Amino acid sequence: MAESCGLSDCHQHATFGLNPKSMATMLSVLGVLYFLGPAMVGRALSYYLTQKTAGRRAQILELMASEEKEYASKNGRRDSDEWDHVEAPSGASKGASPADRDWDGIVGFFHPFCNAGGGGERVLWAAIRATQQRWPKAKCIVYTGDHEVAKEEILDRVKTSFDIQLHSPTILFLYLTTRDWVLPSSWPVATLAGQSLGSLVLAWDAFSLLPPDIFVDTMGYAFALWLCKFLFKDVPTGAYVHYPIISSDMLGSLDADSPTGNFGVNAGKGAGWWGKGKKMYWRGFAWTYSLVGSSIDVVMTNSTWTQAHITTLWGPRRNALKKPAAVKLLPPVNVDSIEKNIHVTPESEKERQKALLYVGQFRPEKNHKLILSAFAEFMSTKTPATKGAKLILVGSVRDDADSKRVYELRLLANELQIKESVEFHLDVPFKGPGGLEDWLRVSSIGVNGMWNEHFGIGVVEYQAAGLICVVHNSGGPKLDIVTEIDGKPTGFHATTSTEFANGFEQALALPDKLAMRKRARQSAKRFTEEEFVKGWIPNMEQLVALRLEKHDPIWLSKRRTSLLTLGLALISGVRSAAAPEEDTHGAVASESHLCSEIGIDILKRGGNAADAMVATTLCVGVVSPQHSGIGGGGFMLVRGPDGVYESIDFRETAPAAAWEGMYEGNVEGSVWSGLASGVPGDVRGLEGLWGRYGKLPWRAICNPAVHVARYGFPVTEDLVRYMDAATHDGIDFFTEDPQWAIDFAPNGTRLGVGDILTRKRYANTLETIAKHGSKGFYEGDVAKYNVAALQAANGTMTLEDMKNYQISIRDPISISYRGYKLTSCGAPSGGSVALSILKIIEGYNLSNSEDWYLNTHRLNEAMRFSYAARAELGDPAFFSYMDDFEAEMLQPKTASDIRHRISDSQTHNISYYSPKHHFLPENHGTSHVVTTDDTGLSITLTSTVNLLFGSQLVVPETGVVMNNEMNDFSIPGVPNAFGFVPSPINYIRPHKRPLSSVSPIIVEHADGTPYLTIGAAGGSRIITATAQSVMYVLDRAMTLPEALKQPRIHDQLLPAVSVFEWAFDNRTVEELRGRGHNVTWVGPYLASVQGVRRLANGTFEAGSEPRQMNSGGLAC
């Protein structure tokens, strides 16, 4: 009887969850509490709903317990047909606590159309099965509007349609009465806003039935998640986003002149007063949508395309709130069933027809007209491939508008004179005679014409069936599905009618279709339920952990103890709080959190530190053009898994036509003209690293940067600061130069923090490099465009200079320091200067805090002596004695002699350190990246375009920002501001590399195991910042994050100024001033250091520069 009452009660409230009485109650509560503020309203409503539903919650739990008991009495246990019994469920993270497997809370799945039977529903049921498997005692509540269907019918359909068997006793359906509020037909005007408002009503309906312990939306109702967080602060929220409600591409499609203005159903509709109003409405909605998205605890997206747009819209606010970034979790598709029933063999190949299959609802955005036009163009060629070819259009018809559309498509086929070769099949079943499965079995080509389809389940099904795909060159089909396997294509991409026609020709004319079919099928295996579960469970574990932290003090205490034991006292905002035992695979640190995440993703996908370095560095070149990019060059130090070191010099070189006096009377030509650029080495350097150490295909590690450039990234605080610095003289080239304005001021006003910056020309260049390697940059059209732009600006670089550029691989230099081995790059980098500073201070006891003021003076003096020696360094290819000179610099005796010359009581004039009075040009902007992995492969790389935004010349066709590294050479007859003459060793010669301050360092234990990989960006300050960071770790026993936070000092002898960051205490500064130092104060911007430390337990500690607001050090 009690069980019966429980069921009755649940259904009663499900039917009348938002009846007039409860609606009136809600409005009354809102009215009374309106003036008390949002927080008070939220708490009051939360209390009201919790109290109102307390009895129902108890009844539901009792009902489920009763059903579980009854099930056990009949079945003994969850048998293998219904439950996969494994100790560690597939996908459970390595660091998951065994204790939380017993978590028995309520997970609410918000899916108002759960019985629809589509791809979104497959995600829902796969997620529930994975949740049941990971937490057998958890209760899964599905909020649905499918009143007419009972629980048993829904679960039977899940089994039949998706082959997913769920454990019935721990599932309950709560029926919503307000689903009409989210139907598009309910909002013929202002549909976006109306449906979003409707989702708030629908969510209130759900919470009136039962507030869950964790709330997950699997349909895309982000506003429902916001309402949950507004009402219940302690309820973690998760979103699986199939499609952003609004996207930057949608906003752009309103403008006919924008890159997306020719695509989509709203193409070019932003004209006129009505169009301007639509723009304002959409932009206002996008702002609200970003606010809502920032409230969600865990965000999962179904594709790279969706992830990019969600990151664009939600990312800036989520970053500000320290919320984790949206992750990509590819959805499960019916791959196994299709593979089981459709063979891809030489025998099955005989059954294939010359059929081009397009499966898709007859909606406008599916672009059937484009495919018909392309097919007509293809058939008009009358090649052998066209003989007997036919186009099969299979899709559902939802309403009269769809029926009319099909009629119009038939008329178009007749008009294009392809009527006899086109078939329409409407509302066909999947199985049975004439069903979709039969068409997948006999067709040869799979077609998708939709622009920016967020994912493309049908395309995955094509691949699983072995069809060769010809798909639109956009969205999920391009980025996630029809991609290369083992460096070979799985299909073709197209945009225009002609491109599709060519794709049809190429696909049907392939001599070995079977090979591509097998690759396509292999590609489809990435979309199985097993792969989905591997990604779903770690995200659900985050939500469960958030819930336990708030409601289970015993669990929280145990977790904290565990974290402390495993060394996570290091957490200081440097990386996400993953358990240390999970952080043993590798680490990435860079000035961009976004790019570090890309590097980590490469490691997780089976790549190594070299793969991660290429991907991260290319990304940094996209998001930080002020410092880095393929128009520049740099240095890297590599420690191989075998412990062998290489110094890879990919520094820019002077063109063949360069000469010593080329800037006579034209010093500014070394900064702003085409003469300012050396031959860039970035691409050859990265390819050289990958060729020697990489694992993943070249294209796979280039593609993330292509995506970031093409689809955009939020402008960061750091980028805005550098743009302001670059235009401080009043000339804003970002808006005044049309080639810069295309990207940085597309609407005439320079982009600001949070705005989305796209670099589509640069994306095209990167894509060429991804396809063709370094030849795509140093030869062909890209090289022609780059050289032409430089020559048009009075440059001398030629195509031969580009083609002949080579990296230089040298033996590194090293010293012993306090029992460690420190290795760095030699000249023309500044590694020997940094090591010289450390070798000098090794003779002092730096761990004694009582001598802090004296040791700071000694450190400053060591800098001055080492920088004096730097004036004698140059390109070793032009000075045969350079190796011996550096070796002498680093001798223990040299360091000892210098210590004897250092006075503890005073500093000296410049001639005491540098009798020749030679000076070197000031170095400028750089970017640094560090990557390591569990094999011992460690890489520390610095890249640069020199001054902020290089020569400020962006190539119109390629989007490449060219360097002005020629300014790093010394110019004869041009003394510096203090009257000192330039160093002849650094004069210009053809093919010569200018001197640099780059000082990457790798530290090894005495037994040869890697300990610290570090480096810095920041021009001439690189050397001192790197040396001090190493000193803090090795001498002061600091963690890497602690070391990077310490205030820094810099003295490069010329000018004779000791520069202190503001964070230094006054006493230290006064002590040095008393010893005769010319002291000045600066803000906290003395270089940007990145590093990774490997701890004794094998975990990685990634540290990223805290002086940069958007840097990121991450481990996995």
Residues annotated as part of the active site: 926
Edge-to-edge order in the sheet of strand 1112-1115: 808-810, 645-650, 633-639, 938-946, 925-933, 586-590, 1112-1115
CB 680 within 8 Å of CB 630: yes
Residue 1106: strand, helix, or coil: coil
How many CB atoms are located within 10 Å of the residue 10 CB? 20
- The kind and range of the H/E element at 1091 are strand 1088-1094
Residue 399 assigned as binding residue: no
Sign of the torsion formed by the C-alpha atoms of 555, 557, 559 and 565: negative
* Percent of the chain as helix, strand, coil, to the nearest 5: 50, 15, 35
Residue 968 assigned as binding residue: yes
Q: Which of 24, 4, 63, 65 is nearest to 208 (CA)?
A: 24
Q: How far apart are CA 267 and CA 159, in angstroms?
A: 41
Residue 997 assigned as binding residue: yes
Residue 944 assigned as binding residue: yes
CB 707 within 8 Å of CB 309: no
Q: Which of 769, 755, 713, 483 is nearest to 598 (CA)?
A: 713
Distances from the Cα of 344 to the Cα of 355, 506, 1109, angstroms: 16, 20, 52
Q: How far apart are CA 677 and CA 961, in angstroms?
A: 10
CB 300 within 8 Å of CB 539: yes
Residue 410 assigned as binding residue: no
Q: What is the DSSP letter of 331?
A: P
- The pair phi, psi for residue 431, each rounded to 5°, is -105, 170
Q: How many CA atoms lie within 13 A of 838 on its CB side?
A: 32
Q: Are strands 925-933 and 586-590 parallel, antiparallel or unpaired?
A: antiparallel
Residue 77 assigned as binding residue: no
CB 89 within 8 Å of CB 127: no
Sign of the torsion formed by the C-alpha atoms of 933, 938, 939 and 940: positive
Length of the chain: 1116
- The kind and range of the H/E element at 647 are strand 645-650
Distances from the Cα of 892 to the Cα of 748, 816, 840, 854, 1001, angstroms: 59, 9, 8, 22, 19
| 28-50 exposure pattern, b = at least 16 Cβ within 10 A, e = fewer | eeeeebeeeeeeebbbbbbebbe
Q: What is the DSSP letter of 481?
A: I
Per the listing, tokens 């493309």 go with 456
Q: Which of 288, 305, 193, 297 is nearest to 239 (CA)?
A: 297
Q: What is the DSSP letter of 234?
A: T
Per the listing, tokens 């070189």 go with 653
Q: How far apart are CA 294 and CA 320, in angstroms?
A: 9
Cite the annotated binding site for L-glutamate by residue number: 651, 944-946, 968, 996-997, 1019
Cite the annotated binding site by residue number: 651, 944-946, 968, 996-997, 1019
